[in-house]
C-alpha cells in the first residue's frame, strides 16, 4: 500500500490509465483541428470528436447532437443558467434552486439577481434532499428555470431527478441539473427524467480536468444564449477550438463508466460500508451527514463530535480527505451545505468527507479506519469539550463567548 492514501474522489479523480492511453496520440501525431475541413488532419480529429460526442450522449441517454463540449461543469452551469435565463427573460424572470447547490450554480443565480431576475433558494430537509411539495409550491407563473443538482459534492445525497423533471414538465419550465457528481456514478437518462439541460464534468469520473459537457435538449428545443463568443463552434453555444485529446478522454471515460457502473458501484459501496461500520463501531458520538440510502456509493461525510475537523486532518496526514470545517477555508465559515441540513456550526466544524473511488482498496479502507479511530481518540483526550461531555456538562447550556 502506497502512502498517502487518496480519499477525496469528490474533489477530483485520477485519469484512468485506459483513458490516458487513448488520449495520447491526439496530442502529438494526430493533432489536427477538428474544424479543419480541408485536410485529413482535420477529418481524423473530427471523427474522434464525433465518437466522443456519441459516447457522452450514450451515457445519459441523449442524442449526440444534444452535446455541447465545454471546459467543465462550472462553464456548463453558467451557460445553462445564465444562457437560458437570458434567452427567456421575456417569458419570466423567476428561477428556483437549492441552498445546497454548488457555488457554480449559486453564483450564476446571484449574477442573474443583479440583472433583475428573482431567485428562490429552497431549503433542503435534514437528510439533504429537497421536499418535493416545497418545490411544487415554489413555482410561479414567472418561473422559467429550475436548477437542482444530481448529487451533492459534500454529502453525496442524490436528488429525486425523475420527480423534479416531472414537476417541471407539467409546468413547461426548464429543468437544469448540475450532474458533475452524478454522471458516471449513478444512472441518468435525460428523457426518462425530463432533463432539459445537464452539466457534466470530466475529472469527477476519471477523465482529465479541463473538459466537460452541457446537454441541451433538442426536442422540444431548449434555447440558450451563449456566454462566450467566437467562431461559432458547438452550434454557436460555445465557441472555441475543440480540444480533441481531452474530448477523446471524456468520451472514453463515459464509455468505461457506462460499461462498469454497476460493478464499480457495487465494489465502491462495499468499501464505503466497510469504512462506515468500522468507524461507527469503534467510536461513539459520530454522526453521518446526509441521507444514507439516497447517496453516492463512494461518499461518506461524518461529524466526529468534540474533534475539530482541521486538526483531525492534520492527525491523519497520510490520508487525503476534505473537511467541512471553516478552518480549511479562507472564509472561516463552516460548510454552508452542512448548515443547510440543520447541522449546527459546532458539528459542521467536526466533519470530514471521505470520497472513495474506482481505485480505492480494502487495505486502504482498513488503514484509514484504524488511523481515524486512533486520531479521534487522541484528539478527544486533548479536547476540553470531550472532557466536559464526559463530566456530564451540557455544552448547549454554556454561554460561549463567540469571537
Partner 1 sequence: MAYNEKVLDHYENPRNVGSFDKSDDNVGTGMVGAPACGDVMKLQIKVGDDGVISDAKFKTFGCGSAIASSSLVTEWIKGKSLDDALTIKNKDIAEELALPPVKIHCSVLAEDAIKQAITDYKKKQ
Residues in contact with partner 1 by CB under 8 A are 306-308, 310-311, 314, 325-328, 330, 332, 334, 344-346, 349, 381-387, 395, 400-403
109, 186, 254, 327: the active-site residue: 327
Residue for cell digits 465518437? 51
Grid cell at residue 305: 463530535
Other beta carbons within 10 angstroms of residue 292's beta carbon come to: 12
Gyration radius (Cα) of the chain, Å? 22
Coil/strand/helix, residue 147: strand
Residue for cell digits 416545497? 134
- Please state, in angstroms and rounded to a whole number, the distance separating the CA atoms of residues 309 and 349: 6
Distances (CA, A) of 144 to 68, 110, 131, 193, 365: 21, 16, 20, 18, 45
Q: Does residue 327 carry a catalytic annotation?
A: yes
DSSP state of 108: H
Dihedral in degrees, nearest 10, Cα atoms 318, 319, 320, 321? -140
- Please state, in angstroms and rounded to a whole number, the distance separating the CA atoms of residues 80 and 63: 18
Tell which residue, 351, 329, 358, has the closest CA to residue 14.
358
Residue for cell digits 483526550? 381
Q: What are phi and psi of 383, to 5 degrees?
A: -95, 125
Alpha helices in 235-319 (DSSP H): 244-282, 309-315
Helix axes 40-59 and 244-282, enclosed angle (nearest 10): 30
Coil/strand/helix, residue 180: coil
The catalytic residue positions are 327
Amino acid at each position: 500500500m502506497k502512502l498517502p492514501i487518496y480519499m477525496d474522489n469528490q474533489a477530483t479523480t485520477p485519469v484512468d490509465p485506459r483513458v490516458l492511453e487513448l488520449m495520447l496520440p491526439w496530442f502529438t501525431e494526430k493533432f489536427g483541428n477538428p474544424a479543419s475541413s480541408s485536410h485529413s488532419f482535420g477529418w481524423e480529429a473530427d471523427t474522434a470528436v464525433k465518437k466522443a460526442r456519441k459516447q457522452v450522449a450514450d451515457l445519459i441517454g441523449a442524442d449526440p447532437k444534444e452535446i455541447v463540449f465545454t471546459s467543465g461543469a462550472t462553464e456548463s452551469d453558467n451557460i445553462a443558467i445564465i444562457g437560458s435565463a437570458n434567452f427567456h427573460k421575456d417569458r419570466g424572470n423567476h428561477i428556483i434552486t437549492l441552498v445546497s447547490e454548488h457555488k457554480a450554480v449559486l453564483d450564476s443565480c446571484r449574477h442573474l439577481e443583479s440583472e433583475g431576475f428573482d431567485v428562490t433558494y429552497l431549503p433542503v430537509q435534514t437528510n439533504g434532499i429537497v421536499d418535493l411539495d416545497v418545490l411544487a409550491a415554489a413555482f410561479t407563473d414567472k418561473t422559467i428555470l429550475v436548477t437542482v443538482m444530481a448529487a451533492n459534492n459534500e454529502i453525496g445525497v442524490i436528488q429525486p431527478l425523475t420527480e423534479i423533471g416531472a414537476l417541471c414538465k407539467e409546468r413547461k419550465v426548464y429543468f437544469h441539473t448540475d450532474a458533475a457528481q452524478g454522471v458516471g456514478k449513478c444512472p441518468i437518462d435525460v428523457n426518462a427524467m425530463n432533463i432539459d439541460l445537464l452539466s457534466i464534468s470530466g475529472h469527477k469520473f476519471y477523465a482529465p480536468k479541463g473538459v466537460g459537457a452541457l446537454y441541451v435538449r433538442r426536442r422540444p428545443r431548449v434555447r440558450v444564449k451563449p456566454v462566450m463568443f467566437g467562431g461559432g463552434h458547438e452550434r454557436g453555444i460555445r465557441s472555441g477550438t475543440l480540444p480533441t485529446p481531452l474530448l477523446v478522454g471524456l468520451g472514453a471515460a463515459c464509455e468505461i463508466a457506462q460499461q462498469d457502473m454497476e460493478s464499480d458501484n457495487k465494489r465502491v459501496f462495499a468499501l464505503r460500508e466497510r469504512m462506515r461500520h468500522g468507524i461507527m463501531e469503534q467510536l461513539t458520538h459520530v454522526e453521518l451527514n446526509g441521507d444514507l440510502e439516497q447517496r453516492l456509493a463512494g461518499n461518506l461525510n461524518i461529524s466526529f463530535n468534540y474533534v475539530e475537523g482541521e486538526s483531525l486532518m492534520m492527525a491523519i496526514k497520510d490520508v487525503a480527505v476534505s473537511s467541512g470545517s471553516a478552518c480549511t477555508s479562507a472564509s472561516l465559515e463552516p460548510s454552508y451545505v452542512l448548515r443547510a441540513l440543520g447541522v449546527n456550526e459546532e458539528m459542521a466544524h467536526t466533519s470530514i468527507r471521505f470520497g472513495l473511488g474506482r481505485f480505492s482498496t480494502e487495505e486502504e479502507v482498513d488503514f484509514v479506519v484504524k488511523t481515524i479511530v486512533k486520531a479521534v481518540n487522541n484528539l478527544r483526550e486533548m479536547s476540553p469539550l470531550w472532557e466536559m461531555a464526559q463530566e456530564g456538562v451540557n455544552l448547549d447550556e454554556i454561554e460561549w463567548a463567540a469571537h
